[in-house]
Structure 1
Amino acid sequence: MCLGIPGQVVEIVPGYEGQLALVDVEGAARRVNVGMLDAQPAPGAWVLIHMGFAVELIDADRARGALEGLELMGRGRDEDQRVRRRYAVTGVVQGVGFRPFVYATATALALTGQVSNTATGVTIEVEGTPDALDTFARRLRTEPPPLAVVETVTESTMDPVGGTGFTIEESGPAGRSRTLASPDVATCADCRAELRDPENRRHRHPFITCVNCGPRLTIITALPYDRETTTMAGFPMCDACRQEYEDPADRRFHAQPIACPDCGPRIELVTGDPGRHAWPPVHGETALRTARELLAQGRIVAVKGLGGYHLACDARDPHAVAELRRRKRRGGKPFAVMVADLATARRVAVLTADEEHLLAGAQRPIVLAPKREALADEVAPGNPDLGVMLPYTPLHELLFGLDGDPPMTDALVLTSGNVAGEPIVTDDADALRRLAGLADAWLRHDRPIHVPCDDSVTRTVAGAPLPVRRSRGYAPLPVALPFDVPPSLAAGADLKNACAVAEGRYAWLSPHVGDMDDRRTVDALTSVANQIEDLTGVRPARLVADAHPDYRSTRWALERAAGRPVHRVQHHHAHIAAVMGEHGIGAGEQVIGVAFDGTGYGTDGAVWGGEVLLCGYKAAERFAHLGYVPLAGGDASVLRPYRMALAHLRHAGIDWADDVPAVAACPQAERDVLAHQLDTAFGSVPTSSMGRLFDAVASLVGVKHEVDYEAEAAIVLEGLARSHGPVGRAYPIGVHDTDGPLVADPAELVRAVVADVRAGAPAAEVAAVFHATVAALVADLAGRARDRTGLRTVALGGGVFQNAVLLDAADRLLSDRGFTVLRPSLLPPNDGGIALGQLLIAAAS
């Protein structure tokens, strides 16, 4: 927060080398540091003041609001007017510069008192004139620091006690916590400038940070948030850092991770085979230089970041990327790439202004954008998009190099430090063991990571962000709830798991945990759940889990319950409830919910995934669904889309002829077995999955017959549709009345796709028409639901709506027909956001 002070006469004080000035305010001279200004203020100038610094020259219009505080200060001479108030502030108010902001605000208004962190937030006692206190209260609520999120401010009156000055007190005793510090945030511009300044004492310091940036969540061991309750507790401050930490005019005033080369963490590089013949570690600049040399030679280096280890290699070296892919057993799943700067990002990807804003923001997520300049083909084989991010720690900046460093690549693959299916590695000893065979060297440091936190992933659709994975930079910021929820823990789902706790009007979702197909990931879920309960102080009285009887997350909840009730929630109901919740839909309201995904356990035992629901929190009625087609062999048909294509061909009455690419891709022996399964229903379950229909069409047009990762076929199909552009037609798809829900039979669509393929239509055209067809189906079914119920709000959820082409088209069609469209914006549409819906449904039931 910046406080405005008018400089009626500004005079540079001799002997301070132009860094200080006198500001004459109503006849009283105040000394102000002007070293941050680009130019010296002239007499009569107006400046913005922040914590004793003049930070910006402003015009008179912007300065008018500042007069209020100054006039109040002038009226505050009469001691008989003094009153004292206490403010209890909750929210994200620890680790974000909130206490320094309170200090600066109070002192600028001539208030006395103190501020301290508590287990529930921040407590402030201030004394002064009533008008000054009113101004203080207003600024407290409406003008907090950029990283803060003020949830509540509770005010009470106290007896004046007198005194002088304003102080920051030691934190109150730990109790039942109900606040969170800021998520980890990227290195700020000021710290980056100091990192590059040879005259600065933190020049090239890999852990440079201040109150506006750096680690938060990942280093917190308990609340209140203070040095002693972080993993920085083992690094006593040197005298110089202590002076900055205690100086209200300093940017590092009460910055808990403060450190410098004399007192902070240190980096080291371990090379060789840690279990047998490792070389002695090298440290500091030698470690950094050696790591850069190894990367330039095409080697793979494990790099310890904010929330865990990454595996890094040169993204422009095809041999290095291919070797990393082989070692990690990555299959064809794309790697994320960190680039040196925004200019490089523009060269490797097609970026909109919104995407550039996401890339360069404090959260620094991985942003999915269309490829432009080819890196090594092995980075994202067959994928139309590239996941790109900018450096978000000082160590990343140093890896790319500062002025004078030997040249190195401007793009690094930076992927989670784990084997496919395992959680990210955070412990140093564990990293040496688990990443042996994957990394050639380990660039690490001695600041422990307490809370694992993977990188966040997002994209933009029609100018709005669409989260794909919510983790570093965002978690665990609270999500406001539309009604009170009792203390609860939601286990989430088995794919892209994130758990959540809630109490009252707030829920806290954990960072991304991963897929529950590895015992280590289940253990990681236990650890993350314990940490988020400790940080929020929520003591769950009940648990919530998916209705699927075989989900590992559901079994985890049952095992953890210890006598507490476990509420089971239908998967697609939870998808829609999550979207309703983040948009503030009330407890008694209903929406038309369109839930499209790959897999979800239905109330009839079938595999659902193409659902239209008349949805409230308490209940959901199945209004319509995609027609059932056999899913033969479970995961076999998920990993081999040609099997799903053949099932759809059989359903549509089309012979399995070799001129259809999907048929040709299926070996004859497998065709025979599959035909028997479809004829007898042996090893088959019916599915209404829209995700599996995308798989089938991708194989029918010949672009993807087998996949290495979830939704790969749909991603390829989306890329083709985007490359083609809009089309003026759609395939037919029949919607039939039944005794129960409407059924959208895909048979006509499949027959039309095959006819186009046989006629030689380009795959991109077929993909574009298919996307248009699905969007039109969404609008058609929503219109039928409105005709029956009068509902005019549509919520779109489920992993299929990560598809930007589909989401944009469906949103436009629905809006054009007068619907209010709710789409995910805070949480992913996939299973990573489903825990919020679980919490809300359980509370309403």
Structure 2
Amino acid sequence: GLMLPYTPLHYLILEKESGFPEALIMTSGNVSDDPIIIDNDIGIKKLSNLADAFLLHNRDINIRCDDSVVRVLSFHANEKIKPSGTIYPIRRSRGYAPLPIMLPFKGNEILAVGGELKNTFCLTKNSNAYLSQHIGDLNNFETLSSFEDGINYFENIFNIHPQIIAHDMHPNYLSTNYAIKKSLDKGLPITAIQHHHAHIASCMADNFYHSDEPVIGVAFDGTGYGEDSAIWGGEFFVGGYNHFKRVAHLKYFPLPGGDSAIKEPWKVALSFLYSSGIEWNSDLPPLVYGNGKPSLIGSPINILKKQLEKEINTIQCSSIGRLFDAVSSLIGIRHITNYEGQAAIELEALTINNDDNTYHFAIAEENDVLIFDPAPVFIDIIHDLNNKCPPPTISTKFHNALCFLVVDIVETLKHKYGLSKVVVSGGVWQNMYLLENTIKNLISTDNSDVMFHKNVPTNDGGISLGQSVIANKIN
């Protein structure tokens, strides 16, 4: 992305002078996956091999705060469809935090500790929710320390003494472990909140939704611990703050290696094909990539196939995020990722506006739950690949298939449950093509009342807000 100067110091640095570059390549002051360094001496020691120069200051930094990141919608957030350029937050940090989010009700003093990726925490008091700045991925000691320091800082400056602690259901998150330890140390009650319920509740609170009328929630993301211990991420719910019912989801497929597969979309693609009963033809891009990988223990393709056949270290998954990974690999875009969401981002970048061609999911009902199966989509994608269909066309048809799928299932659920309001949340909804076209189709086709994020991120940076409002309601 591009960053314009936003302080007088930035203007001085970028002031034109003969021989000085017109633009600077800059990054945050940290090693990848570590929190921002706020001590001058530590910064020079750790970053001297990365940076050509350091601009230091004699004022100490008291609390870390990353840059905020937003995208822009092509229609107005408060009206049905009107071009405007509405801000859509991706990371809520500098310039926004710690300004409070106004809640649609008065609540208890609660600490919600968020998830693992893109972590934020949230403290509530009366009608205010104090959502923290972006903390980062809680996967090392340094980031955990920053997380703990931030909680202590917020509790002190806002004079909040939590009476309840809320956390994600995932038992292995560092935030979960922190919540459990703090509840034991302080003798406080603790509440586990399902990940995607928190997503939907976050969006409801973001829209100041105060009614007890249930909504239809559409939670699409990469990873969330499900009530059945599977990895969820392609979910339709009916419910509200107090409760939810899972009424539709992506058909389960085996995710090989669990979270490690996130970095290897080629494995995810072949797993989807395996679970769909589709033959692994040798000319498919993920097969070509897998066969070309060096290995000391045998063919990576044969190892993966045996892993799937014998169900070794696989976990059931219904993630739309992984579906994007699979399609990206299947059409030869991205087989290995260097950062979260890379395969999906590159797939979105190929989409073509004003193209309504589409694929189709199969939908079946099992035990009063709608299951949508991507097998027909994969079959048609392979057919298009064989016919030399260009990747932008395939990407657009895949995106459109998801848009129309959401519209079809929402229409079914609206008639079945007599509901009118639809809430969309989760990291997949950072995809502007998917978000804008889904909302426009929901409004134009079924006149749905759609809620989406306006003040807090749709990704995991917003789930601590959802955890806090759910904990308030159920307690």
Is TM-score (shorter-chain normalized) higher than 0.5? yes
Q: How does 1:18-37 map to 2 (within 5 A)?
A: none
Kept in 2: contact 1:485–1:839 (CA 8 A)? no
Structure 1 residue runs of 4+, over 6 Å off? none
The alpha-carbon deviation at position 436 of structure 1 amounts to 3.2
State yes or no: 1:396 paired with 2:10: yes
* 1:760 alignment partner, one of 388, 403, 414: 388
State yes or no: 1:604 paired with 2:235: no
Aligned partners of 2:367, 2:87: CA distance in 1, in Å? 40
Partner residue in 2 for 1:359: none
Q: How many residues are matched?
A: 455
State yes or no: 1:481 paired with 2:103: yes
Kept in 2: contact 1:587–1:617 (CA 8 A)? no
Partner residue in 2 for 1:840: 469
Q: How does 1:563-712 map to 2 (within 5 A)?
A: 563-586=187-210, 588-667=212-291, 669-712=299-342
Q: Which structure: greater helix fraction? A: 2
- Give the TM-score of the pair, scaled to structure 1: 0.53
Kept in 1: contact 2:357–2:396 (CA 8 A)? no
The alpha-carbon deviation at position 822 of structure 1 amounts to 0.6
Q: How does 1:334-413 map to 2 (within 5 A)?
A: 387-401=1-15, 405-413=17-25
Show CA shifts across 1:776-833 (max 9, x none): 1111111111011111111110000000000011010111111011111101100001
Partner residue in 2 for 1:523: 145
Amino acid at match of 2:214: Q
- Give the TM-score of the pair, scaled to structure 2: 0.94
Partner residue in 2 for 1:505: 127
Aligned partners of 1:696, 1:622: CA distance in 2, in Å? 24
Kept in 1: contact 2:164–2:190 (CA 8 A)? yes
Kept in 2: contact 1:614–1:620 (CA 8 A)? yes
State yes or no: 1:737 paired with 2:326: no
Partner residue in 1 for 2:457: 828
The alpha-carbon deviation at position 682 of structure 1 amounts to 1.3
Amino acid at match of 1:547: M
Partner residue in 2 for 1:435: 47
Aligned partners of 1:536, 1:780: CA distance in 2, in Å? 45
* 2:347 alignment partner, one of 688, 695, 717: 717
Bigger mean CA offset, 639-648 vs 413-422: 413-422
Amino acid at match of 1:794: V
Partner residue in 2 for 1:447: 59
Higher RCO, 1 vs 2 (CA within 8 Å, ≥6 residues apart):
2
Kept in 1: contact 2:196–2:426 (CA 8 A)? yes
Show CA shifts across 1:460-517 (max 9, x none): 0222111110100111111011112200111011000111100111101111100011
Kept in 2: contact 1:652–1:751 (CA 8 A)? no
The alpha-carbon deviation at position 657 of structure 1 amounts to 1.1
Kept in 2: contact 1:587–1:844 (CA 8 A)? no
Which has the greater radius of gyration?
Answer: 1
Q: Which structure: greater strand fraction? A: 1
Amino acid at match of 2:190: V
Partner residue in 1 for 2:82: none
Change (3 A) 1:825 1:407: farther
Kept in 1: contact 2:199–2:426 (CA 8 A)? yes
The percent of aligned pairs where both chains have the same amino acid is 40
Amino acid at match of 1:401: E
The alpha-carbon deviation at position 407 of structure 1 amounts to 4.5
Show CA shifts across 1:573-618 (max 9, x none): 0000000001111152321100000000000110000000112001
Aligned partners of 2:276, 2:8: CA distance in 1, in Å? 58
Aligned partners of 1:467, 1:548: CA distance in 2, in Å? 25
Aligned partners of 1:423, 1:516: CA distance in 2, in Å? 10
Change (3 A) 1:587 1:542: farther
State yes or no: 1:798 paired with 2:426: yes
Aligned partners of 1:771, 1:411: CA distance in 2, in Å? 36
The alpha-carbon deviation at position 440 of structure 1 amounts to 3.4
Change (3 A) 1:591 1:407: farther
Gaps (5+ residues) in structure 2? 75-84, 292-297
Secondary structure of 1:610's match? strand
Secondary structure of 2:308's match? helix
Partner residue in 1 for 2:78: none
Show CA shifts across 1:325-353 (max 9, x none): xxxxxxxxxxxxxxxxxxxxxxxxxxxxx
Show CA shifts across 1:434-455 (max 9, x none): 2232223321010111121110
Amino acid at match of 2:134: H
Gaps (5+ residues) in structure 1? 1-386
Amino acid at match of 1:673: I
